[in-house]
Amino acid sequence: MKKVFVSGCYDILHAGHLQFFEEARALGDYLIVSFASADVLWHHKRRKPSIPDDHKRALLQGLRMIDEVVITHGHKEGLDFEEDFLRIRPDFLIVTEDDKYSDVKRELCATVGAAYTTLAKTPPRFEPVSTSSIVRWVQAPTEAPLRVDFAGGWLDVPRFSRPGEFVVNCAISPLVSLREWPYEKQAGLGGSGAWALINGRDGIESEIDLGVGWQDPAVIRETGLCVWRSGQKPVLDFKQNGDFLSGRMAIHWTGSQHDTPGVVNHPRDYDRIAQSARVAREGAIHADIQLLAQGIDLYHGTQLDEGMDSLIEIPGAIARKYCGGGYGGYALYLFESPVLRDNAIAATPELRAVEPFCRV
């Protein structure tokens, strides 16, 4: 009887584990699956298991392809199963192609004459997932805000960042979810960052990979009215709940979708963009609607100089700009009072109210 041995954490079982167990079992007659105990998991990874060890053992023992389950207690990195392996003396140790401890495992196999065998990657029967991706999915919020950016846009793009300068933005409601998205798509409101968050993914890395900036996923995850330091990664400089903006913001659909990646390399006045953020930052810190409006208008001037079309004028608005750094999408309008905002919405049906959102 050829004994096959595999080891892992198997903290949250998924279909990829089952496929691995089946392919390992096919190489012999008797499959032994070992998993690290809660004590070992804490010792090496500083985290607790998803379920108690006896429950995990029962789940594994219930799988048709597994003949024996072992809970390991060794603290040697990569070889928590060494004691059981030497006791069982299997014929095969099966590992995946990305095994990080191949050298010490080969040495262990040599002591008992076991074959160190790498299981070749085969096409997965299901979309691949990992334990960490499952945890992120479970922990992901069911809803997320979008965002409006006030000033400093493009200074969150790593190659355009400027030490000592800032980016100012605010998370907004209504919220979005996987089932409800009450906004136009590709709208300049950071929708890709919100989509990543509610799907349990790291939106910051994905935005930077696109060649654009990190401000969307950063403020959507943080919420509130935020000032960020320009740089390679988001560093929060100042935050408040944005209550002074309640009843004072509205957005207007320009009629065409927003495009940021397509205009990344357009020439633009980064000095003026930096100036706009410094002014808007003072407005945010002092809850001063007029200063914030000045910062927004400064930024909008750079958008017009870049070649964006003039936005419609709306009575009562003290500032306006395109949301995001690209052409099209929504435009933001700022009002001095809720009454002026509500009057503008009544007169302009395409204008819709948005409110600052801050998660406690």
Task: Give the domain CATH number at 237.
Answer: 3.30.230.120
Question: What is the b/e burial string over 118-149, where b = at least 16 CB atoms within 10 angstroms of the residue's CB?
Answer: ebeeeeeeeeeeebeebeeeeeeeebbbbbbb
190-248 pLDDT per residue, tens:
998 999 899 888 766 666 565 568 999 999 999 999 999 999 999 999 999 999 999 99
Tell me, what's the pLDDT at 211? 58
pTM for this entry = 0.74
Average the pLDDT over 93-98 and give the result: 93
> Which of 135, 168, 190 finishes a domain?
135
Tell me, what's the pLDDT at 131? 74
Residue 231: which residues within 8 A CB-CB, separation 6 or more?
158, 161, 163
- Both 268 and 346 in one domain: the answer is yes
- Both 131 and 145 in one domain: the answer is no
Average the pLDDT over 303-318 and give the result: 95
Cα–Cα distance list, 165 to 131, 274, 279, 293 (Å): 39, 6, 11, 18
HSE (side-chain half, CA atoms, 13 Å) at 152: 33
Q: Are 55 and 65 in contact (CB under 8 A)?
A: no
- Both 150 and 119 in one domain: the answer is no
- Cα–Cα distance, 308 to 167 (Å, whole number): 21
Domain count of the fold of the chain: 2
- Tokens representing 245 are 């903006």
Residue with tokens 């509205």: 250
Radius of gyration of the chain (CA): 27
- Residue 292, amino acid: L
- Both 77 and 159 in one domain: the answer is no
Bridge partner residues of 117 (DSSP): 94
Binning pLDDT at 50, 70 and 90, where does residue 110 land?
very high
Residue count of the chain: 360
- Both 37 and 65 in one domain: the answer is yes
- Both 101 and 146 in one domain: the answer is no
> Which of 103, 135, 167 finishes a domain?
135
- Both 19 and 90 in one domain: the answer is yes
Question: Which structural domain range is residue 329 located in?
Answer: 140-356
> Which of 85, 102, 135 finishes a domain?
135
Tell me, what's the pLDDT at 261? 74
- Cα–Cα distance, 53 to 41 (Å, whole number): 11
What CATH number is given to the structural domain containing 62?
Answer: 3.40.50.620
- Cα–Cα distance, 227 to 277 (Å, whole number): 9
- Both 60 and 92 in one domain: the answer is yes
